[in-house]
Amino acid sequence: MKQLRKKLSILLVCQLVLAAGLWGMAHHRQTTQGRAEPLLTFEKSKVDRLTVKRGEDQTELVKSEGNWTLPGFHNLPVEKAKLDELLTDLGELKATELVATTESSHQRLEVAPDKAVAEVHLYAGDEELAHLWVGKSPSFGKQYVRLDGKNDVFAVRWSGSALQARGSAWFDRGLLASGKLKEIKFPDMILTLENGIWKSDQLKLDQKRVKELVSLLENLQVFDVSDEDIEPDFTLSATTENGEQRTYHFSQKGGEHTVLREDHGVRFKLPQSIAEKLRGVDAQALVSTDEEEQKAEE
């Protein structure tokens, strides 16, 4: 009987300790949720360097003289809107949903250094402003995260999809866009803008079709850097409204289309649909068949 009482007493003590632990964790979670404090505290305007690591990939974004570039990826300019979105998202993360408080949980939630899904650092000069470990997603639109040096793990409302660690995900895809043009020289024809009307020799052009064609250059989009050294087989030049010259050299190998702009020096992969439209320009296909439009131009 004494042995039974002793065991029951030990069991009761264990239950009380467990209950106290659970209450403490619940209280911690409730208090944290009530405060809704920002997970990261940094001034967005002060950030001048950012590194993202995901698996074996890592990239660095650096701000110099007001411009963000990718030093490890041909020093290409960063897509500013995408970077602004990431910094805004990081600044708005809330430490509200505490899911774990022990180091032993880090492996399971994939926020441990050797198992994290992603890792991000924010710097101002040599000062580290934030270091975040990003783990797996518990549900759609949520991500487990942990501050470096802390055991607490939070589930935050954030997909984490913006944390890409390849330079090709960050560079400005519109960096070869010409801007507003007043002339384009194709191998077999020249398009010139006069008083808001595009003309070519004495041809009466379909303005809608021409503007769609011109827009391809004015808003040119590429999607990756090409390592292929291919001789160009098609060249066109353009003049902007400000008189700046833009010369584009196009190449094709198999199903891959690439473009090199003389003033830039890096060859880029170009969507096939855009490349084929620019390469396949036919003056006769641009001629207007609308008699009223022809009369209006006269």
Residue 281 backbone phi and psi in degrees, to 5 = -60, 130
Helix (H) or strand (E) segment spanning residue 120 = strand 118-124
Q: Cα–chain-centroid distance for residue 171? A: 7
Q: Which residue has the higher pLDDT, 121 or 263?
A: 121
Identify which of 262, 259, 296 has the alpha carbon closest to the alpha carbon of residue 274.
Answer: 259
Alpha helices in 173-219 (DSSP H): 207-218
Residue pair 37/94 in contact by the 8 Å Cβ criterion: yes
Which pLDDT does position 7 carry in this prediction?
52
CA–CA dist 249, 234 (Å, integer): 6
> Does the pTM of the predicted model rise above 0.85?
no
Bridge partner residues of 258 (DSSP): 251, 269
Q: Which two tokens stand for residue 119?
A: 């890792």
Q: What would the pLDDT profile of 168-184 be if each residue is shown by its tens digit?
A: 999 999 999 999 999 99
- Look up residue 82 and give its amino acid: K
Which pLDDT does position 255 carry in this prediction?
85
Radius of gyration of the chain (CA): 29
What mean pLDDT is predicted for residues 265-294? 84
Mean predicted lDDT score pLDDT of the chain: 88
Which pLDDT does position 291 carry in this prediction?
52
Q: What would the pLDDT profile of 109-148 be if each residue is shown by its tens digit?
A: 999 999 999 999 999 999 999 999 999 999 998 999 999 9
Q: What would the pLDDT profile of 230-259 be if each residue is shown by its tens digit?
A: 899 999 999 999 999 999 999 998 889 999
Which of 91-100, 260-269, 276-285 is the least confident region? 276-285
CA–CA dist 250, 266 (Å, integer): 12
∠ CA 132-138-140, rounded to 5°: 100
Which pLDDT does position 56 carry in this prediction?
93
Residue pair 62/125 in contact by the 8 Å Cβ criterion: no
Bridge partner residues of 70 (DSSP): 76
Q: What would the pLDDT profile of 183-238 be if each residue is shown by its tens digit?
A: 999 998 999 999 999 999 878 999 999 999 999 999 999 999 998 888 999 999 99
What are the residue boundaries of the structural domains of the chain, listed by start? 36-169, 181-297
Q: What would the pLDDT profile of 44-84 be if each residue is shown by its tens digit?
A: 999 999 999 999 999 999 999 999 999 999 999 999 999 99
